[in-house]
C-alpha cells in the first residue's frame, strides 16, 4: 500500500529506543524524513544508524521533554533543517519504578516525575509544534498512550493516570486542530517487549520472595493468557504499522480516536 508519506517529515519524540525507534524505522521505510528527539545521549548516532540510505533522511536531537524551552527551540531547528514538519509522534514515557496493588504502597512523591514526563512532556511537545502545523493547515499528531490509561490499572497508578491524561488531552487537541486540517489521535499498545515493559516486571518482582519468583517471560505469558483474547504479545512493528497508517491520507477521516493495538485487551461496547 502506498501511504504517500515520501518526502514528508515526521518528528518522533522518544524515538531512540523501543516503540518510538520502531516507528522511526517504519516512517523511514515509507521514504519519510525523520527527526528523532530523545533525552538519550546516543540519539544522533541512533538516527544515523537508522538512516540506511545515508542520504540525510534522519537526524537525532537530544532533549528532555520536560524542558519546554529546549523542545520549542528544537521545533524551530527541525523546521529550519527539513523545511517542514508534517507529523509528530510522542512516544516518550517512564514508569514510577514502583508497583501498586494498592496505590498507597507508592509515595505521593512518586507521582511528580511520571506526570512531568508523560503528561506535561506531551503538552510541551504539542505546544511547541501545533502553531506551525495550524499555520501549514495540514499534518498529524499521535500520542502513544496505553491500555493502562483506560482501565484504572493498579499496576503503576501514576503511569496509568498520566496515560488517561494524555488520551483526554489528545481529544482536546483533536477538536482544537480539526478546523486547521490537523488530525490528532492516541495509540494504545498492549504488551510489547521493551525496557519499559520489563521494568514493570522488575518493580513487581522486587516485592516477591526470591524463591518461586517466575522469570520475566513466564510472568508476561501468564498475564497475556489471562488478559489478552488473542493470546499474543504485540510487536514494535504492530505499533509502528498503525502509527504510520494514522499519519497517512488513508486515515484522513480519523481524528480524536483512542486506537488500541492490544490483541483485544480493551474492548468498548
Ligand atoms: N512496551 C509496552 O508494553 C507498552 C505498553 C503500553 C504503552 N506503551 C507506551 O509506548 C511508548 C514507548 O514505550 P517503550 O515501551 O518503547 O519504552 P522505552 O523505555 O523502551 O522507550 C522510551 C523512550 O523514551 C525516551 N524518554 C524517556 N523519558 C524521556 C524524556 N524525559 N525526554 C525525552 N525522551 C525520554 C527514552 O530515552 C526512550 O528512548 C510509551 O508512551 C509507553 O508508555 C508501551
Report if residue 213 sits inside a domain.
no
Report if residue 82 sits inside a domain.
yes
Report if residue 218 sits inside a domain.
no
Model pLDDT, residue 269: 77
Does the structure show a pLDDT above 90 at 55? no
Distance 166 CA to ligand 1 centre (A): 14
The CATH number assigned to the domain holding 171 equals 3.40.50.720
Helix/strand/coil percent split, the chain, to 5: 50, 15, 35
What's the first-to-final CA gap in the chain, in angstroms? Answer: 31
User: 22, 115, 122, 194: which to mutate for ligand 1, most atoms within 8 A of CB?
Assistant: 194
Mean pLDDT, the chain, rounded, equals 96
Domain that holds residue 176: 9-191+236-260
Report if residue 171 sits inside a domain.
yes
- How many helices, marked H, and strands, marked E, lie in the chain? 9, 7
Report if residue 203 sits inside a domain.
no
Report if residue 73 sits inside a domain.
yes
**pLDDT band at residue 7, thresholds of 50, 70 and 90?**
confident
The total of structural domains in the chain comes to 1
CB 164 within 8 A of CB 150: yes
Q: Which cell goes with 142?
A: 499521535
Report if residue 208 sits inside a domain.
no
- Mean pLDDT on 1-9: 92
Ligand 1 pocket check for 146: Cβ under 6 Å? yes
**pLDDT band at residue 56, thresholds of 50, 70 and 90?**
confident
Amino acid at each position: 500500500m502506498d501511504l504517500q508519506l515520501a518526502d514528508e517529515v515526521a518528528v518522533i519524540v522518544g524515538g531512540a529506543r523501543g516503540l518510538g525507534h520502531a516507528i522511526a524505522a517504519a516512517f523511514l521505510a515509507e521514504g519519510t524524513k525523520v527527526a528523532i528527539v530523545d533525552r538519550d545521549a546516543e540519539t544522533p548516532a541512533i538516527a544515523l544508524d537508522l538512516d540506511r540510505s545515508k542520504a540525510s533522511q534522519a537526524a537525532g536531537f537530544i532533549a528532555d521533554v520536560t524542558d519546554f524551552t529546549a523542545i520549542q527551540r528544537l521545533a524551530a531547528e527541525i523546521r529550519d533543517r527539513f523545511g517542514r514538519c508534517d507529523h509528530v509522534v510522542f512516544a516518550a514515557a517512564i514508569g514510577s519504578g514502583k508497583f501498586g496493588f494498592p496505590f498507597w504502597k507508592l509515595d505521593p512523591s512518586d507521582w511528580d516525575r511520571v506526570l512531568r514526563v508523560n503528561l506535561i512532556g506531551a503538552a510541551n511537545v504539542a505546544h511547541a509544534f501545533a502553531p506551525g502545523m495550524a499555520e501549514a493547515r495540514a499534518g498529524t499528531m499521535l500520542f502513544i498512550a496505553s491500555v493502562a490509561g483506560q482501565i484504572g490499572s493498579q499496576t503503576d497508578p501514576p503511569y496509568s493516570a498520566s496515560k488517561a491524561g494524555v488520551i483526554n488531552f489528545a481529544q482536546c487537541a483533536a477538536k482544537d486542530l480539526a478546523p486547521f486540517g490537523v488530525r490528532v489521535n492516541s495509540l494504545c499498545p498492549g504488551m510489547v517487549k521493551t525496557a519499559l515493559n520489563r521494568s514493570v516486571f522488575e518493580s513487581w518482582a522486587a516485592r516477591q520472595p526470591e524463591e518461586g519468583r517466575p522469570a520475566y517471560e513466564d510472568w508476561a505469558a501468564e498475564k497475556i493468557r489471562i488478559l489478552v483474547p488473542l493470546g499474543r504479545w504485540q510487536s514494535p512493528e504492530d505499533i509502528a504499522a498503525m502509527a504510520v497508517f494514522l499519519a497517512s491520507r488513508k486515515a484522513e477521516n480519523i481524528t480524536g480516536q483512542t486506537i488500541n493495538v492490544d490483541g483485544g485487551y480493551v474492548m468498548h461496547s
